Structure 1
Amino acid sequence: MSNLLVIALIPYVHVAAPPPTLPEAAGLAASLSLLRDLRVGRAGSLKGYRHDRFLPGWGRQYGACDTREIVLKRDGRGVRRDRSCRAVRGVWYSRYDGRRLTSTAQIDVDHLVPLANAWISGANSWSAARRRAFANDLKRPELVAVSEKVNLAKGGHSPANWRPPVRGYWCTYARSWITVKHHYDLRVTPREKKALGNMLRTCR
């Protein structure tokens, strides 16, 4: 009796390569146009908001790597990972405050448009899936590795009440904020819109 050769067919799943750099925000001219197009309204209530309604845990992205680890690898230099994809070594530059960081204990992955701000800007009516997608978005300039200290200072504030200490980053920050809010159709307040316009004036 002849031997039977059994071949196991394993489904092939295409996984896109992780983004090598922070996604680009809209250019100055486009940002000015998008800013004019943003819906303006009052901030909503924080009633019902919880961090875990957006982020019950970082989403799995590539293999064992979750969103946070992808951002740490993307934004750092000489990043080494362990078998669980956790960054264990590297150097990071915190764009908001200009600090050089050498330990992941010093780093937060910031949601440029904070989750709380998204909630009061329209995300309170989103589905759970859309909120998770927003919190793990690697296609827009929404996630950035910064110092824990500056991230705590920022909290859930919009540009109406907080701007990066490094003034030279205001242009990029405002363009990124506008890009994200426009993509997700999130409202801005009148004060927020005015602050964004003022920050765009620093673009050169």
Structure 2
Amino acid sequence: MFGAVVVLLAVLGCESLGQVTPAPGSPTRAQLERLLAGVPTVPKRPRPGGYERGCGSGQGCVFGPAWTDDHDGPGGHDGCDSRNTVLARQLGRVRRRPGDECVVVAGELNDPYTGRRIGFDRADAKAVQIDHVYPLAAAWDMGASAWPRPLRVRFANDVEYNLLAVDGKTNEDKGDRTPGDWLPPARATRCFYAGKYLTAAGHYGLPVTAADRTALERVARDCP
């Protein structure tokens, strides 16, 4: 009985005891510290205004149409929209629409924010959503408003650096918040999230706020 409890605590990351085993694939503390050293810091998030994600009549469409394949980044111009590309990359047991290999209709997600295994069914697509790890609205405020439009479109659809399939409710809770205001609910996944966030920031020359840096430094201390 005692042995079973020990195993269960290990699986749960021992969070109830204040001990965390980072999720597989997480960066080390040293790697996170190097990433942090390469990203500039601003005192707080600017608010330049002008952010309009929508592409309807009269809307700014500042990051281009959602999930467009028409960009020069990873996964661009491959014939499949970026949303389905991310699903195909991350899900296990992937099933595709007959006659259209681009469209993912079902699969299983090891959620990188909650650590749970989630079934994906296209009929209930909101259960698994595609997150911009470095949120589009935050990127706009932190410098993307001055980028040329093709670079913003690439950023919004970059399947390598900035897009993740995640639990839908968790993604909605995150919104456009950055690490100073939001971290994944499962502590075991935070090293992975921090690495992904800082990699996206570094690749696109985006800063973090002072509050973000403090939060990410705290996360790094729990990484191996």
TM-score by length of 2: 0.74
Cα shift at 1:36 = 2.3
Q: 1:59 aligns with which of 68, 71, 76?
A: 68
Larger mean CA deviation between 34-43 and 104-113 belongs to: 34-43
Task: Say yes or no: does 1:92 pair with 2:101.
Answer: no
Distance 1:26 1:93, change over 3 A: closer
Distance 1:93 1:107 in 2: 11
Distance 1:125 1:62, change over 3 A: closer
Q: 2:90 aligns with which of 53, 56, 75?
A: 75
Distance 1:36 1:64 in 2: 37
Cα shift at 1:54 = 1.2
Structure 1 gap segments, 5+ residues each: 1-23
Distance 1:25 1:164 in 2: 13
Aligned to 2:211: 191
Larger mean CA deviation between 189-198 and 51-60 belongs to: 51-60
Query: Which of structures 1 and 2 has the bigger CA Rg?
Result: 1
Partner SS, residue 208 of structure 2 = coil
Partner SS, residue 68 of structure 1 = helix
Larger mean CA deviation between 94-103 and 147-156 belongs to: 94-103
Distance 1:73 1:151, change over 3 A: same
**Percent of residue pairs bearing the same amino acid type:** 36
Aligned to 2:36: 35
Contact between 2:131 and 2:163, CA under 8 Å: does it hold in 1?
yes
Structure 2 gap segments, 5+ residues each: 1-24, 54-60, 70-75
Partner SS, residue 83 of structure 2 = helix
Aligned to 2:129: 108
Task: Say yes or no: does 1:152 pair with 2:172.
Answer: yes
Distance 1:63 1:190, change over 3 A: closer
Q: 2:188 aligns with which of 143, 146, 168?
A: 168
Q: Deviations over 1:32-76 (max 9, x none)?
A: 123123211131115100223114131224654111111101110
Distance 1:46 1:145, change over 3 A: farther
Q: 1:120 aligns with which of 104, 125, 141?
A: 141
Report the number of matched residues: 180
Partner SS, residue 129 of structure 2 = strand
Distance 1:55 1:167, change over 3 A: farther
Task: Say yes or no: does 1:47 pair with 2:49.
Answer: yes
Q: Deviations over 1:124-146 (max 9, x none)?
A: 11111000111111232x11101
Partner letter of residue 88 of structure 1?
V
Partner letter of residue 187 of structure 1?
P
Partner letter of residue 118 of structure 1?
A
Contact between 2:28 and 2:223, CA under 8 Å: does it hold in 1?
no
Q: 1:136 aligns with which of 127, 152, 157?
A: 157
Q: Deviations over 1:132-186 (max 9, x none)?
A: 111111232x111011100000000011111101100111111111111111111
Distance 1:46 1:76 in 2: 37
Contact between 2:39 and 2:208, CA under 8 Å: does it hold in 1?
yes
TM-score by length of 1: 0.81
Contact between 1:110 and 1:151, CA under 8 Å: does it hold in 2?
yes
Contact between 2:46 and 2:141, CA under 8 Å: does it hold in 1?
yes
Contact between 1:25 and 1:176, CA under 8 Å: does it hold in 2?
no
